[in-house]
Each structure stands twice: as structure tokens, then as C-alpha cells.
Chains A and B, each alone.
Chain A
């Protein structure tokens, strides 16, 4: 039995393009149930593209993507809709509807997908607001919240249905250090109490090291390494060490290619 046998996410040989530009090159990515997996990498490494593929928002050029047993590349709309009910997504900016109050935003998935009583829905919404330290903000509009609050409100909405699988795009981006530590704690609590599998895309090292069971590092669309926090820290790969020690990339310049890019705009 290989390690991917019971995986809740199993990606094999994923190749992805935006137009002619290749973004992901033969990415293998497998996550076990109950795991917190962090996807790391610099800007343009392909981490957001990988996330969008896991959410079935993009079609790959080739390769297979299975999420909770569903082949998301070929699944029909009904199957995808069912999968999405078991999946929570917290987007970078919160992605709340600006014309609805915070409370209305958070309860929306319950109203759309369940037959629960309004009392139950209201209490569930307030439970999640409490959990995110947003008690009392139910009736405010998203425009009245700070960046950190918006992010927490987005997380509240993402977990309102108690998803099996939570995707979180850049939880710490743009947050003050205290708020970002609180969010990390919250992710760990959700994992422990709800048995959630969590996939976090981030470039914040400190956060990654704190929450991850395993980290996958992407470089230029390829998986450079997948390993535990210690394995990442002890990696001898120069690119990984550069990332950990925040050293700027020192790319070798191919003079010919560089000149071609400047003169023709093509690689």
C-alpha cells in the first residue's frame, strides 16, 4: 500500500498552462485525512494555480486530480456541487458579498444548502462568529470591518458547514503579527476538534512552521520538496534554504534567452 492509498487529495502528474505559458510541471501532491498541509513558494511559483486546480476552478493540460474520491477533472456539475458542500474555502480578502451584512454572508451556505431551522442557523452563525472573535459584528457591513476581521469573517463562512476539507489562501497576508498568530491557533483548533483536513497556501514561514504537518514547496511550477517541518528546515536544497533564510533568488542568467525575451517578448 502506498502512502497515497487513503489520501483525501491525490494529484498526479499535473501539468497546467495559462495560454502558452506552462505554470505547473508534473506536480504530484497527496494529502492524508486530518493533515494540515502547507503549500509554500514565492510569487509565481504556481501555488495559487495548484489551489485553483484542487478547487476545480481550472482545467489542467494533463494529469489527474482526486479530491475526497472524486475525479474533479472529469466530474459532472452535480458531483462537483456535492463535493463543494463538503469543502470550505477562505479566500485572501475574505470575498464577502458587500451588499450583505457579515451575519448574512456567513449563514448564506446554510440557507442555500440545508433545511435547518432558522433558530439553528442563527445560533450556528453566532457560534462561528464567537470562534473567530467577531461576536457582535453580525449586523455590520463588510465595508465596516478591518482587513483582519474580513479574513476571519471569510473563515467563519468557509467553516459554517463544518467541511471535511478546508482550503485557506494566504491566511496571514496583510495581518498584524498577533492576529496572524490567532488565526494559526484557530486552524489548529479546527483541525483537532472538527477533524478537518486543511490545505493552506502561504508564503509566511513562521505560520507554515507552526501549523503544518507537512509542507510542499513549489519552485517554478515544480515540487521542490514535500516534507515535515524538520525535513524542510534541514533540506540541503539551496533554493529551500534561500526561501527559509529570505535570501533573494540568484538566478543564473542565460544571456541568449534574456536577450530573446527582451527583443521578442518570448521565452
Chain B
């Protein structure tokens, strides 16, 4: 997995590429919690993500909950294939905010 952090309007965007697994999900966790603790809402870009395991999903749950307590948002962008199926399997597609692309994001 590699990641890239960019700014999109008022959001911090975390673009994940490849596979999130037991070995690298702590890196994703650190990034997400940092962004939220600094007071920014976050867009997690899944469009180049081919796989996410349950440690990655658990990380998203923790970050989403933190965002909520801070009155910030965590939005998942462009989830398809395996990662989308994992979100559906765990019913988290009904909890997280999922959008198809950045087009709908406004200031």
C-alpha cells in the first residue's frame, strides 16, 4: 500500500493505493487520526484501493467515530469491487458516508 495526502477544498484527502492489511493499517490509522485531531474533515479515496482487510475496516470505524465526536466528517470516495463488498458484508455501507466521486463535494 502507498498513500498520498492532498488538500481538496476544506478537506484533507487520503488517497490509498494497493492493499490495506494487518501490516500497514496502523499507518493508515495514524494518518487518519492525525488529520482528525488537527481539526480537518477527511476524504478517504478508495478508487485505487484493491483490497482492505478487517484491520483496515476497524481503523475506518474508529476514525469515523472520532470524526463524529469532533463534529467533523469522514467520507469514503470511489469504493468499488472487493473493498465495497467488504463494507457491504459488514453493513458499514449503511454507517459510513460513501460517494462515487469528488464531483459532489462542495465547500
Which residues in A have some Cβ–Cβ distance to B below 8 Å? 114-117, 119-121, 123-124, 127-128, 130-131, 160-162, 189-190, 192-195
Contact = CB atoms under 8 A, between A and B. Distances in A.
Given A162-B22, A193-B89, 17 more contacts: A114-B55, A115-B26, A116-B26, A116-B55, A117-B29, A120-B29, A120-B62, A124-B58, A127-B57, A130-B91, A162-B53, A162-B55, A190-B89, A192-B89, A193-B82, A194-B53, A194-B86
6 contacts: A114-B55, A123-B62, A127-B58, A127-B61, A189-B89, A194-B82
B82 A195 contact: yes
B55 A124 contact: yes
A114 B25 CA distance: 11
B100 interface: no
A114 B86 CA distance: 21
A87 to B, nearest CB: 14
Contacts, number: 58
A123 B58 CA distance: 5
B59 interface: yes
Interface of B, helix, strand, loop or mixed by DSSP: helix
A141 to B, nearest CB: 24
Report the interface size class on chain B: 20 to 34
Contacts of B53: 162, 194
Given A114-B55, A120-B55, A131 B25 contact: no
A123 B61 contact: yes
B86 A128 contact: no
Would you list the 9 A-B pairs with minimal beta carbon distance, nearest first?
A123-B58, A193-B89, A193-B85, A162-B53, A124-B58, A120-B58, A124-B54, A193-B86, A123-B61
Interface in B28-67: 29, 51, 53-55, 57-59, 61-62
A190 B82 CA distance: 11
Contacts of A131: 89-90
Contacts of A120: 25-26, 29, 55, 58-59, 62
Contact of B62 (A119, A160, A189, A190): A119
B25 A116 contact: yes
A251 to B, nearest CB: 46
Contacts of A124: 54-55, 57-58
Interface of A, helix, strand, loop or mixed by DSSP: helix
B69 to A, nearest CB: 14
Taking each of B21, B22, B62, B85, which has the highest tally of chain A beta carbons within 10 Å of its own beta carbon?
A: B22
A193 B88 contact: yes
Nearest to B91: A130
A176 to B, nearest CB: 24
A115 to B, nearest CB: 7
A84 to B, nearest CB: 14
A194 B53 CA distance: 8
A121 B25 CA distance: 12
Contacts of A114: 22, 55
A128 B58 CA distance: 10
Nearest to B86: A193
Nearest to B60: A123
